[in-house]
Amino acid sequence: MSGVYLIQPSYLKDTNKYKFGLSISNLNNRIKSYGKLTTIIFKLYTNIPRKIENILKIIFKDNVYANSEYISYNNLENLKILFFNVIISCNILYKFFNKTNDKIILFNFDLKKKLIHKKKINYENKKIIKMKNTNQNKKNCKSYNCLRCNHTFYNKTYFVKHLKRKFKCSIINYNIDFEIITTDILLNKIENNLYDNYYQLLNSKKYKCKFCDKFYTNSQNALRHSKTCIYNPLLLLN
């Protein structure tokens, strides 16, 4: 990544001399080329390194002792403050003239913050895409609804394990006779590939006997049953 820097190269160690410069391609490699003992004072990332370097040349023209990028400065802290203020001023002017909240020059911590934010956004996007794919897969794949507890499974093996578990699931479908939704009956239907038809048949029974809890697929069957229902008060009187 391109940027500008302020360093004290290893060959200027223990002196009051420093160097600023730019890198168009790889800022880290550029700084490393000055030696392992190089002290990094500022490492800044920007898309316009040449313009920033030209500004620095103007600011430090009275401190130049060699070429146009080597400067001498007696007080390192004052140098840091001056350099920092120049960068802040560049960012303020950039925001003002371009009417944006973005910075044209990023400090190392700014870049890390930006990368973390970008990584977080990418993670959230991947999470959303994964959820969408999961939901889409659920829509496309076959589902198994338990006739006892109404829980939905998208895997036949998990559904079978659910029915075979030691502590059976609670029966919530009170509109279906308990005797015809025992786990043994449901497992038998699954093994013989009859569960889907059995499920549709039982869920189609919407007509309830007014004397007991039995349901029927149509009103005529329910009426016929009610005439002979053992809980029919007319039969009990007779």
At residue 122, the pLDDT reads 65
- Distance from C-alpha of 60 to C-alpha of 27, rounded to nearest angstrom: 21
Beta bridge partners of 43: 5
At residue 137, the pLDDT reads 58
Global confidence as pTM: 0.47
Angle among Cα 23, 122, 117 to the nearest 5 degrees reads 60
Residue 153 contacts residue 190 (beta carbons within 8 Å): no
The full set of domain ranges for the chain reads 3-106, 109-140, 144-237
Mean pLDDT, consecutive 10-residue stretches, the chain (238 aa), reads 90 92 89 90 87 89 88 91 88 81 68 52 67 62 81 86 86 68 84 83 70 72 80 71
- Residue 30 burial (CB count, 10 A): 19
